[in-house]
Amino acid sequence: MTDDYVLETRELTKEFKGFVAVNKVNLKVRRGTIHALIGPNGAGKTTCFNLLTQFLPPTRGRIFYKAKEITGSKPSAIARMGLVRSFQISAVFPHLSVLENVRLALQRKRGGSFDFWRSERILNALDDRARELIASVGLSEFEQTIAVELPYGRKRALEIATTLALDPEVMLLDEPTAGMTHEDVGRISALIRRVAQNRTVLMVEHNLSVVADLCDHITVLARGEILAEGDYATVSRNPEVVQAYMGKGYA
Amino acid sequence: MNDPAGAPALSEIAIKPLKHVNGAAHRWVAFIVMVAFFALAPTFIYPVFLMKVMCFALFACAFNLLLGYVGLLSFGHAMFLGIAGYAAAYVAKEGLNIEAIRLGTIHIPLNIALPPFTPELAILTGVLAAAILGYVAGLLAIRRQGIYFAMITLALAQMVYFFCLQAPFTGGEDGIQAVPRGKLFGVIDLSDVKAMYATVFVIFIGGFLVIFRIIHSPFGQVMKAIRENEPRATSLGYDTDRYKLIAFVLSATLAGLAGATNALVFQLAALNAVHWTMSGEVVLMTLVGGLGTVFGPVVGVLAVLGMENYLAQLGAWVTIVQGAIFVICVLTFRRGIVGELARWIKKPL
């Protein structure tokens, strides 16, 4: 394995009671790229994400992050190593303010926050950095808004700001533009492009124009297996891919 | 999120953290009202009843720390109240006499012979017992979530109940009676109602402030994050099980403080404190007062115990009246008394 690949899986497999959701996937994510994981519904993309971040234990196979095996680590430990994920459904803390949401991620850098005897006022020291992050995703005017009251697109932006607060080396984004209005899609993809400048992004995405626009490398999954890999032009010409998306007869 | 009061409740009372400095004023007012009430009330309300209210208010606040701020519904919190009561009552009455520990054929001579404990040490013993039980119960229970968590805590509480019924030193059905209140620090005689009242008052206010600080600490922020979205807290790198365990132990410890104090007040440790109905009652008290509010449990306890006390002549009807109030509470003011009040003044309480 070379240092080029920041994230790599070998023969990664997940079975649920006889159903193989992910089958012998060898995924290689090159450092500094935006890598997309696409495929029809049920192809195992989200399962892959859950395996990579150890929210699910793999049945077989190994996962390497920065040339170090992380199979079997705790999900929280993986997050602390700099491999941070988002979720398909928007993952904010709904009844906390936008500022508090971001600050919770910044608070991680203090190490464990087990100090229940101290006033939360010491967290105010993190407010400036939190405001910078909030501004970077265009949410400044919503700083004091309770997250649940934000429109959907803004929630995703908040989620990205929260993830960025951890300064992760690798961001795993699960369908960042799902369910968004056209305008929001543009805003979020611009944001992803910006934040990907000095880190690696692996994203599951259904919106192929976003994928075409953003991603350097694409892996197509179907029925739990890798069907094709390459850049957008290569992948979109692949007859098997077209068939998996459109059904037989289109190839 | 699994708080039975429903998601909208918390959204509308949620706080704006940066305005704490200015926005804390109404909380100070509420706090002063509460302190003044318990300081002045014994002049016109039966003090023993008020001491019971303060003990249960601390118990409910400890329970609310877990349900209202971490989102964990423990259905066995009576075990901490009860075990602390038994431990405190036992050492206050009998002291601690252990000749030896026998484990099968192993015989470890200890020859511990301590005279009856002073009240502060008895309470400390009770608190310690609850903390240890809380740690063991927490280790087992936090492995599961939602209803399973509630069921495991209930099952453990039932085990503790039968232990208290059968163990040689708990007095079975009789409990431990005629517990001496003793002299606080060997000086202040607690058989005097005023001295006892002052002691309970200090313990209650102290416990309340500790809980308030826990809620408003960096740890408290993580607790709320877990309540709001546990997978997300994990994905930010928080080992949520450890936070939940610590919160559970803190809650159990404070419930133990309430239980031990209660045993001294009534000079009695009895089975009703470990019974599952007690675990249910604390849920009721917290919901009526306002889940996830700082002052809610205190008001809830005052309401529920007040009903029990002043409607006592209705006999069995009290339970029915309570049931009806609970139903009305869930149907019409789901945020509880304080929760609705906080929404009305648009400030957290």
To the nearest whole percent, how much of chain A has pLDDT over 70? 96
Task: Please check whether residue A156 touches B, CB under 8 A.
Answer: no
Q: In the predicted model, what is the mean pLDDT of chain A?
A: 86
ipTM above 0.85, yes or no: no
Radius of gyration (C-alpha) of chain B in whole angstroms? 20
pLDDT for residue B342? 86
- pLDDT 10s digits, B81-131: 999 999 999 999 888 888 777 777 888 887 888 888 899 999 999 999 999
Q: What is the DSSP string of chain A?
A: --TTEEEEEEEEEEEETTEEEEEEE--EEETT-EEEEE-STTSSHHHHHHHHTTSS--SEEEEEETTEE-TT--HHHHHHHTEEE--SS----TTSBHHHHHHHHHHGGGS----TTS-GGGGGGGHHHHHHHHHHTT-GGGTTSBGGGS-HHHHHHHHHHHHHHT--SEEEEESTTTT--HHHHHHHHHHHHHHGGGSEEEEE---HHHHHHH-SEEEEEETTEEEEEE-HHHHHH-HHHHHHHH-TT--
CA distance A251 to A225: 19
To the nearest whole percent, how much of chain B has pLDDT over 90? 57
Reported residue count of chain B is 349
A85 contacts in chain B (CB < 8 Å): 235
Which residues 8-27 of A have a C-beta within 8 angstroms of B? none
B220 contacts in chain A (CB < 8 Å): 116, 120
CA distance B283 to chain A (A): 22
- pLDDT 10s digits, B262-280: 999 999 999 999 999 999 9
pLDDT for residue B307? 86
Nearest CB to B236 within list A74, A95, A104: A104
- Of the pLDDT bands very low, low, confident and very high (cuts 50, 70, 90), residue B137 is very high
Question: Which are the contacts of B8, defined by CB distance < 8 A and separation ≥ 6?
Answer: none
- Of the pLDDT bands very low, low, confident and very high (cuts 50, 70, 90), residue A178 is confident
For an interface test with B, the pick among A73, A83, A96, A171 (most B C-beta atoms closer than 10 Å) comes out as A96
A79 contacts in chain B (CB < 8 Å): 234-237
B196, pLDDT greater than 80 = yes
The dotted CATH code for A5-246 is: 3.40.50.300
CA distance B300 to A38: 53
Q: How many CB atoms lie within 10 A of CB B203?
A: 21
Q: Do B18 and A127 touch (CB under 8 A)?
A: yes
Taking the CA atoms of residue B151, residue B153, residue B156 and residue B158 in that order, the dihedral angle to the nearest 10 degrees is -70
- pLDDT 10s digits, A217-240: 999 988 888 888 888 888 888 888
pLDDT for residue B14? 39
Q: What is the DSSP string of B323-334?
A: HHHHHHHHHH-T
- pLDDT 10s digits, B199-245: 999 999 999 999 999 999 999 999 999 999 999 999 998 999 999 99
A111, pLDDT greater than 80 = no
CA distance B219 to chain A (A): 5
Q: What does the pLDDT average to over B136-162?
A: 93
**What is the domain extent for residue B120?**
7-345
Beta bridge partners, A121, equal: none
CA distance A238 to B86: 74
Nearest CB to B235 within list A85, A121, A149: A85
CA distance B212 to chain A (A): 10
CA distance A158 to A90: 9
A53 contacts in chain B (CB < 8 Å): 235
pLDDT for residue A1? 46
Nearest CB to A120 within list B10, B220, B228: B220
B14 contacts in chain A (CB < 8 Å): 95-97, 146
Provide the CATH number for the domain around residue B295: 1.10.3470
Measured between its terminal Cα atoms, the distance across chain B in Å is 21
Nearest CB to A97 within list B16, B216, B225: B16
CA distance B4 to chain A (A): 15
A119, pLDDT greater than 80 = yes
- Of the pLDDT bands very low, low, confident and very high (cuts 50, 70, 90), residue B57 is very high
pLDDT for residue A43? 85
Higher pLDDT, B101 or A134: A134
B2 assigned to some structural domain: no
Beta bridge partners, B107, equal: B102
A76 contacts in chain B (CB < 8 Å): 234, 237-240
Instruction: Report the candidate in B128, B111, B126, B118 with the shortest Cα–Cα distance to residue B95.
Output: B118
CA distance A161 to chain B (A): 12
CA distance B78 to B86: 12
CA distance B301 to B303: 5
CA distance B293 to chain A (A): 14
Closest-CA residue of A relative to B14 is: A95
In this structure, are residues B122 and B92 in contact, taking their beta carbons and an 8 Å threshold?
A: yes
Nearest CB to B218 within list A55, A118, A146: A118
Helix (H) or strand (E) holding B245: helix B240-266
Q: Do A123 and B213 touch (CB under 8 A)?
A: no
Q: Do B235 and A53 touch (CB under 8 A)?
A: yes
The alpha carbon dihedral of A229, A233, A236, A237 has a sign of: negative
- Of the pLDDT bands very low, low, confident and very high (cuts 50, 70, 90), residue A244 is confident
Task: Please check whether residue A114 touches B, CB under 8 A.
Answer: yes
Total domain count for chain B? 1
DSSP three-state, residue B110: strand
